[in-house]
Amino acid sequence: MYSERPLDDRKLAVLRAIVQDYVGTEEPVGSKALVERHNLGVSPATVRNDMAALEEDGYIHQPHTSAGRIPTDKGYRLFVDRLAEVKPMTAPERRAIRHFLDGAVDLDDTVARTVRLLAQLTRQVAVVQYPSLSRSTVRHVELVALAPAKVMLVLITNTGRVEQRMVDCPGTVGETVLADLRAKLNTQAVGRPLPEVPGLLEDLPAAFEPADRPTVSTVLATLFETLAEQNEERIMLAGTANLTRFGHDFPLTIQPVLEALEEQVVLLRLLGETADAGMTVRIGHENAYEGLNSTSVVSVGYGSGDQSVAKLGVIGPTRMDYPGTMGAVRAVARYVGQILAES
């Protein structure tokens, strides 16, 4: 890479204007239109020179001679990093968000409302990850005998998530043993982060009669399995209908995106790349997944306290309203966090 001259303020202003106009009109923007719409204080000819410089540096691009300019991924990147301010939600908007999310009755409902809200606010595709097991703590463990040798194990986390598994025991399970195990499990595990639990319970079978140990071990094994099942991470989607407003060249753009959205794995990885703190914006080719090369992903972690337990975000065309989208994503994440903390 050869060294680039630093861009002076006016060139930055021109780039900002180009991004704003292009996002608004979806059409390549020319020098004349630019000076008319923005008070740049210079003539079109001057703007043209700046544009030529911006193009040489790779911030904008011309679809063909005698067309206006379009920002490149690099241009959007600069815009996001240095030229745009996250647009805060207005007070009524905040109230509406708050109100909408407050109506939720359980975790499923909270996530469902969040994802719909986000899709509606940004008019793009919204993605919300369920609070992941790995960063939650145990609220309660319950054991229920369903049949002589069949026990149901229920794990409840502090985020309100409930996981249940059937356990087939090696022999009949006495109610007293079950009660004992239940009590011990809860005393030792409640309040602890999920990943720590296996270590804490390792020696539990030793506290039981030798005859009961196989049963205890079986139950523990299932519990550990449940705890470890990272791949059980779930995701909820909304706003796919907004894809139709993506661009004019349809099937080509939309199909890979729809395919990506069907793959939980892809979405999880996508959200996984979100930095733990602060908002992450991945523009166009910055996305590892090829099908999303012409989309941008704005994502952020959310959590019930200071720590983030899961991620959420939106997926839209690279040509999106970054300040507005980022504002909406941030606001929604903040409120979901509050809701989770309260419940």
Partner DNA sequence: CCTGGCACTCTGCCCAGCTGAGTGCCAGGG
Partner DNA sequence: CCCTGGCACTCAGCTGGGCAGAGTGCCAGG
Q: Which residues bind DNA (CB under 7 A)?
A: 10, 28-33, 41-46, 48-49, 51-52, 55, 62, 64-69
Distance CA 7, CA 43 (A): 19
Cβ pair 170, 231 in contact under 8 A: no
CB neighbours (10 Å) of residue 278?
9
Distance CA 255, CA 229 (A): 31
Say which entry of its own copies, DNA, none residue 28 contacts (CB below 5 to 8 A, set by partner kind). DNA
Say which entry of DNA, its own copies, none residue 285 contacts (CB below 5 to 8 A, set by partner kind). none
How would you classify the pairing of strands 162-168 and 310-317?
unpaired
To the nearest whole angstrom, how small is the minimum distance from the Cβ of residue 164 to its own copies? Answer: 5
Sign of CA pseudo-dihedral 235, 241, 244, 246: negative
Distance CA 151, CA 65 (A): 72
To the nearest whole angstrom, how small is the minimum distance from the Cβ of residue 26 to DNA? Answer: 12
Q: By C-beta, is 114 or 308 nearer to its own copies?
A: 114
Say which entry of its own copies, DNA, none residue 139 contacts (CB below 5 to 8 A, set by partner kind). its own copies
What residues contact 123, with CB distance under 8 A and at least 6 apart?
239, 242, 245
Chain residues binding its own copies by CB under 8 A are: 106, 139-140, 142, 144, 146, 152, 154, 156, 162, 164-165, 238-241, 243-244, 250-251, 254-255, 258-259, 261-262
Q: Which amino acid is at 179?
A: A
Say which entry of its own copies, DNA, none residue 211 contacts (CB below 5 to 8 A, set by partner kind). none
Say which entry of its own copies, DNA, none residue 32 contacts (CB below 5 to 8 A, set by partner kind). DNA
Say which entry of its own copies, DNA, none residue 238 contacts (CB below 5 to 8 A, set by partner kind). its own copies
Query: What is the DSSP code (8-state) at residue 74?
Result: H
Cβ pair 170, 178 in contact under 8 A: no
Strand order in the sheet with 280-283: 235-238, 125-129, 310-317, 295-302, 280-283
To the nearest whole angstrom, how small is the minimum distance from the Cβ of residue 105 to its own copies? Answer: 9
To the nearest whole angstrom, how small is the minimum distance from the Cβ of residue 13 to DNA? Answer: 11
Distance CA 173, CA 181 (A): 11
Q: By C-beta, is 49 or 90 nearer to DNA?
A: 49
To the nearest whole angstrom, how small is the minimum distance from the Cβ of residue 79 to DNA? Answer: 18
Q: By C-beta, is 280 or 294 nearer to DNA?
A: 294
Q: By C-beta, is 64 or 342 nearer to DNA?
A: 64
Q: By C-beta, is 7 or 126 nearer to its own copies?
A: 126
Q: By C-beta, is 65 or 244 nearer to its own copies?
A: 244
Q: By C-beta, is 46 or 186 nearer to DNA?
A: 46
Say which entry of its own copies, DNA, none residue 262 contacts (CB below 5 to 8 A, set by partner kind). its own copies
Distance CA 340, CA 250 (A): 39
CA distances from 327 to 23, 135, 161, 207, 320 (A): 16, 26, 28, 54, 13
